[in-house]
Amino acid sequence: MARPVLILAALLGGALIAAQASAQDAATDASADRGRDLVLKHCSRCHSLAATGPSSEPSAPPFRDLHKRYPVENLGEALAEGILVGHPQMPEFRFGPDDVTAVIDYLNRIQSGTAKPNP
């Protein structure tokens, strides 16, 4: 009788872990969607957000390729404190903590060859 209880407990534990992972994925997707809105508003004038093609500002890297220049997670501090370097026309930006997370989630989503495509 103890064995069926252990099997049931293991199944329930696995289901709980799967549900938690699914909820976390949904939260990351929602955050990335918000990040997409932020970069559309603040960055798309110069940086390409498309799957192919150059940025309109030649010295502004396409966002899909940022991982080739920087570890994307390392951009969080620059986004929070203000990006002071970049292309010559780049304005200084400072994002709050939730916005930094959203932009990083979005950047992780769109890196060429490394993540799922935009929804």
pLDDT of residue 84: 61
| Residue 66 clears pLDDT 50, i.e. is over it | yes
In order of their start, the domains of the chain are: 30-110 (1.10.760.10)
pLDDT digits (tens, 9 = 90+) for 25-58: 556 789 999 999 999 999 999 999 998 999 999 9
pLDDT of residue 116: 46
Average pLDDT over residues 86-103: 83
**C-alpha distances in angstroms, 93 versus 28, 79, 83?**
23, 7, 6
Token readout for 40 is 């559309």
Average pLDDT over residues 83-109: 83
pLDDT of residue 103: 94
pTM: 0.68
pLDDT of residue 109: 92
Distance between CA 92 and CA 81 in Å, rounded? Answer: 9
Distance between CA 39 and CA 51 in Å, rounded? Answer: 15
Q: 34: buried, middle or exposed (CB in 10 Å: 19+, 13-18, 0-12)?
A: middle
